[in-house]
Chains A and B, each alone.
Chain A
Amino acid sequence: MRRLAAVVGAVAMVVLAVAVRARLDGEQRGTDASPAVLVCSSELADVCRALDAAHDDVTVRIEDAAVTQAALTAEGASADALGIDAWLAPAPMADMVRTERDLQSLEALLGPSGPVLARTPTVMLVWGDRLGTLEQHCGGEVTWACVADAADKPWSDIGGEAGWGDVKVGFSGIGTADGMLNVAAAAGSLVGRTDFASNDFGDLGFQERLGDLARSSARSTPTGASPIQELLTKGPAAIQIAAGLEADAVPAVRAGARGDRVQVRSPDPVVTADVVATPILGAPGAERLDAILSGDELAELLASDGWRVDGQPTAPGIPTDQPLPDSANTPSGGVLLALRRTWTEVS
């Protein structure tokens, strides 16, 4: 019995020591003594690495949005426990977290997101010699709805050559902001409006067509690779139609292995990724990060990385004659959560 008590006591001391250390770490983070921690969604990797390199008092962590979302919606999550001060990601990602925490009756953890720092539209990359066939199939402009009708079926079914194999579509993983927003764009196209709701996902026709896109994407990117990378490095054998963000796609196509073979399209409805910074409530370094994130430095970095930023020149290749819609055309966080579940189910 005495031995058991000793063991229990020892374990308690260890737990206490860990807790105290965590507390001390939390108190130190973001103070003058330690760097503030900024988490960036993977679409902003290059921008955030540049920030990291330029600021000794900032540490950057880059991860897919769903990874951050999972951490922020976990029970017991707090600024101290998570060790992060702010999150830089497309706007609806934070909204999804707020909704999820509400659903779980958890206290608010995210402060209000700041103003939109940069924007980029979702785009569709199509292998050049497939575009004509696709336009013919779509009766004009190519939309995600008509791509869904052809996805995962032989090209010869829609007038293409037998040697082209199946129509292969690629979306980034649904855990990324890129993937989530492009799936939202596709869903908007399937439903026929941008203000769709989770009620629309019960429709069997919707599920079937969304499923064709999801299954084709799963086949085309079995290793989880970026569909734009797959299209440009492996050519039409791997993927012929890739979803992406303009900020990624245009520079890649311009610099790329087969850029001259690829057409970039902005199918209706245009959805945009609007970058915002969101502070973690109670985080000691949030204020310091806010000062950095609201300055010209970040704006310049974003613009040179292909994002559209008010008052900044656009990067080479980013079209100046195609204005973005006033709204991001993304549904609410709750609808996105439901869409993510549906996409996973029909994959």
Chain B
Amino acid sequence: MHRPESARPAPTHPQPSRTGQRPAPRRRSVVVLAAALAIALVASSCNGNGGQNADDALGITADCAIVVPMAVSPEKIDLLTDLAKTFNGRDVQVNGAKACVSPKSKSSGGSMQLLADGWRDEKAEGPQPVVWSPAGSGWGAVLDQRLTDAGQAPIAGQGQSFMNTPLVIAMPKPMAEALGWPQADLGWSDILAAVDDPQGWATYGHPEWGPFRLGKTNPNFSTSGLNALIAQNYAAAGKTRDLTLEDLDRPEVVEDNRTIESAVVHYGDTTLTFLNNLYRADQRNTALQYASAVAVEEKSIIDYNSGNPDGVLDPGEEPRPPRIPLVAIYPKEGTLFSDNPLYILDAPWVSADERAAAEQFISFVLEADNQQRVLQYNFRPGNAQVAISDPITTENYVDPDQPQTLLDVPAPEVMLGLLDKWNVQRKSARVLLVLDISGSMGEPATANAPETKLDLAQQAAIDSLDQFADADDVGLRVFSNGLGPDQTRNWLDEVPIEPIGTNREQMRNAIRGLFPTNGTPLYDTISASFQELVDTYDPTRINAVVLLTDGRNEDGDKSDDRAQLNALLTQLETQSQGESATPVRLFTIAYGEDADLTVLKQLADATNGAAYNASDPKSIAKVFTAVISNF
């Protein structure tokens, strides 16, 4: 069971923590950091094994006198849990005391920010880590830079890489072949040319594939997204190293970035959303209309081609290879490795015994036998004595002889500049927020809690507004029965879809003013909201409906619910798939225990969107942040 780099959209079971914490308003960079923090919390609560049960699962027993807390990126938590169990059973001694390790899942960007802030809230975030393992060592450089900028001593220093996987451009095989693969060397410049071509795939003899559509994750949260951003900027600047802040301002670089971003389907905190959607589209034989290329790590291609797109096999699930496999394009301009460093932090909370125990664990992880396990998880071993072998083979459409050249990781200040520029250059969004104000939203969020579900949802929605860029168009719709002056309407538009730069305060006030009312006309509302976005579709933007509900369809007539749902699914699928698709994405949030996550996932999947699980109402702030990372 692998896990993604960041929060999986669904199914998830976020746990309560840091309720009410808000990102600082206005400044997007600050918001982004806060958002990264929140994503980390979602990721940790989704994947973490908190409490005594986790200790049992890791083989941490009462005789473990030294327990080394570790924060590791989510895509490798299963591997490290596996390794930790073996290590903890070995009776490794440090100064006469048994040493054990306890890995916990934390997203790379989120944990970096927590460390930069001193990892102050152990109750909410888990113990301060002795060992930190983000996906790539670039995060270590950024952490130390942030600390240095704040007048503090760096704590990451040099890590020990223990496995690798390169960033690649994943393309459906026929599409790659249309661009000349495998004979031609392809790269970001070819992607740029294809994106920039108004004829789209018609130029390559396939008008039926439509325009060139690109899947990229949000670089503030995802290592793949960050590495893809670095790579595309190098390509635009015509460099493979020494990228500078001046380069980022060059008109041709800005233009190329805007062109590439214009082809993005949507963003998000994890590549697995794309891969899951692509897999579902493949099962419907419409994969080629969903995405033409996705920037992912090499290991994800092996997962996908084996029929396990998210790397997680649920109980009873059998991997079934897709009809159309993905092939790995190793960009000719160069790429970057996710090198999975293990940092023993030079932090005040790390004792000498913990450090010694951590060193023992790192040696253990690098042992040849344990590096064979790395291969089982589709990564490349970090120990040179272990051959790169199956599954890193051309049979799986990855190439052990690639990449041929690497890009230099830019200087930390340039990395920060890249993120700032991306916030301006990314594809704008056109989003309708649709909030449930049914009577059940007035119930307490949890037993004996003073806040209602609506209270928490309002706060989360208000906080999430800061994640939008000024140029994004955002509107607010609420739904319940008996709305409007004549009390006959199922929804009301509180704020029309307009640039949020001018209506952010109006949105805040409108959300603050909401109160719970009657039933939950879910299907009617989704149908109407989706259709409105389709009818007013803007091809230059990410068009999406974000819907939060705490209940099931409740329009006064249960007898036709099944028929309504089928009709709605047909409507969503018809508009979202095929050559004439109008790609409006539906992102659903199942809020509270009574929401029907299964149905909401079906509906989101029908549009190649994603469903998010906030069954614990206190997780809603974090979930909202994850949802808005798609824009």
Contact = CB atoms under 8 A, between A and B. Distances in A.
Contacts of A228: 384
A328 interface: no
Interface string B365-404: 0000000000000001111111110000000000011111
A222 B410 CA distance: 11
A231 B341 CA distance: 17
Interface in A222-263: 222-225, 228-229, 231-238, 251-252, 255-258
A166 B384 contact: no
A234 B384 CA distance: 9
A252 B334 contact: no
B404 A223 contact: no
A257 B406 contact: no
A166 B158 contact: no
A163 B185 contact: yes
Contact of A222 (B240, B385, B387, B409): B409
Contact of B408 (A219, A232, A236, A258): A219
Contacts of A258: 387-388
11 contacts: A164-B405, A165-B404, A219-B408, A225-B161, A233-B380, A233-B384, A234-B164, A235-B402, A236-B404, A238-B406, A258-B387
Contact of B241 (A219, A225, A231, A237): A219
Nearest to B406: A237
A252 B384 CA distance: 6
B405 A166 contact: yes
Given A164-B404, A223-B341, A258-B388, A237 B382 contact: no
Interface string B165-199: 01000000000000000000100000000000000
Nearest to B385: A255
B468 interface: no
Contact of B137 (A222, A255, A257): A222
Interface of A: 163-166, 219, 222-225, 228-229, 231-238, 251-252, 255-258
B164 A165 contact: no
A223 B386 contact: no
Interface residues of B, number: 34
Contacts of A252: 384-385
Nearest to B401: A235
Nearest to A239: B406
Contact of B384 (A163, A229, A236): A229
B339 A223 contact: yes
B240 A233 contact: no
Contacts of A166: 240-241, 405
A236 B334 CA distance: 11
Contacts of A165: 240, 334, 404-406
A25 B334 CA distance: 55
B591 interface: no
B337 interface: yes
Closest 7 CB pairs of A and B: A165-B405, A232-B384, A224-B158, A237-B403, A255-B385, A237-B406, A256-B384
Contacts of B388: 233, 257-258
B241 A257 contact: no
- Interface residue SS majority, chain B: loop
B516 interface: no
B11 interface: no
A163 B137 CA distance: 25
B144 to A, nearest CB: 12
A237 B405 contact: yes
Contact of A237 (B334, B341, B383): B334
Given A234-B406, A258-B388, A163 B158 contact: no
B241 A233 contact: no
B159 interface: yes
A171 B561 CA distance: 69
Contacts of A251: 385
Nearest to B334: A165
A224 B335 CA distance: 19
A233 B382 contact: yes
B2 interface: no
Given A233-B381, A237-B337, A252-B385, 14 more contacts: A163-B405, A166-B241, A219-B408, A222-B408, A225-B161, A232-B384, A234-B164, A234-B337, A234-B406, A235-B400, A237-B334, A237-B402, A238-B406, A257-B384
B421 interface: no
Interface string B136-168: 010000000000000000000011110010100
Nearest to B187: A163
Contacts of A224: 158
Contact of A163 (B241, B332, B408): B332
Contacts of A235: 400-404
Contact of A256 (B158, B387, B405, B406): B387
B165 to A, nearest CB: 11
Contacts of A257: 380-381, 384-388
Interface string B326-337: 000000101101
A232 B382 CA distance: 9
B330 to A, nearest CB: 8
A258 B403 CA distance: 14
A238 B137 CA distance: 14
Contacts of B164: 233-234
A229 B381 CA distance: 10
Contacts of B335: 237
A223 B406 contact: no
Contacts of B337: 234, 237-238
A219 B241 CA distance: 9
A311 to B, nearest CB: 28
Nearest to B157: A224
B296 to A, nearest CB: 18
B355 to A, nearest CB: 14
B344 to A, nearest CB: 13
Nearest to B384: A232
B383 A233 contact: yes
Contacts of B384: 228-229, 231-233, 252, 255-257
A163 B388 CA distance: 22
Nearest to B341: A223
A244 B580 CA distance: 59
A223 B408 CA distance: 12
Contacts of A232: 384
A166 B234 CA distance: 14
Given A222-B409, A224-B158, A257-B388, A163 B404 contact: yes
Nearest to A228: B384
Nearest to B337: A234
A326 B400 CA distance: 42
A255 B387 CA distance: 8
A229 B334 contact: no
A229 B382 contact: yes
Nearest to A231: B384
Contacts of B382: 229, 233
